[in-house]
Amino acid sequence: MKPLRLFISSVQKEFSTERAVLRDYLRGDAPMRRFFEPFLFEDVPAADRRADELYLAEVEQCDIYLGLFGNDYGYEDADGLSPTEREFDAATLHHKTRLIFVRGAEAETRHPKIQKLIQRAGSELIRRRFVTSAELLVDVYAALVQALEDLELIRTGPV
């Protein structure tokens, strides 16, 4: 079986630790490695290609979009949109499984645009909140196991 492509989306600077923890866990754990291949933009070598073309093409090719939302909205392009919002929108457009994890609960410390994106994501799908990288890892593990069950790639009950 070919591993499912898991696109990890977030403001890179804000979530650098969490992105590395998720990548290292998914690549280091034997069962997770069998089922998932994480994609992180920072792992891509330099290329003669626009960054937005690359990450949007990767979202289109992925099986699961995993979004990490926090306080920062990130760099805004000429249209006033961040890569994280464009990636979420592409995952929605291409009907990808979307798993959203939100750090913290304090809306007043968030950039207004990320708060709006969190509200929009919350109205479309279930999302989880976390504070620490350890909590995030537990929640991501549970969500990925559930995704494998939903796709009938594993079974946890009677056949």
Residue 96's closest CA among 83, 87, 109? 87
Coil, helix or strand at residue 88: helix
Residue 130's closest CA among 140, 119, 117? 140
Q: In what order do the strands lie in the sheet with 97-103?
A: 36-39, 4-9, 64-69, 97-103, 127-130
Q: Residue 16 pLDDT > 60, yes or no?
A: yes
Q: Residue 142 pLDDT > 90, yes or no?
A: yes
Coil, helix or strand at residue 12: coil
Higher pLDDT among residues 48 and 34, named by residue = 34
Please spell the DSSP secondary structure of 37-72, one letter per residue: EEE-GGGSPP-SS-HHHHHHHHHHH-SEEEEEE-S-
* pLDDT tens-place string over residues 72-102: 999 999 999 999 999 999 999 999 999 999 9
Domain architecture of the chain: domains with CATH: 4-150 (3.40.50.10140)
Q: Please list, in sequence order, all residues whose beta carbon lies within 8 angstroms of the beta carbon of residue 6, skipping any fewer than 6 positions away.
A: 26, 36, 37, 38, 39, 62, 63, 64, 66, 144
How high is the pLDDT of residue 47? 63
Q: Where are the beta strands (DSSP E) in the chain?
A: 4-9, 36-39, 64-69, 97-103, 127-130
> Residue 97's beta-bridge partner residues?
64
> Which secondary-structure segment (H or E) carries 159?
none
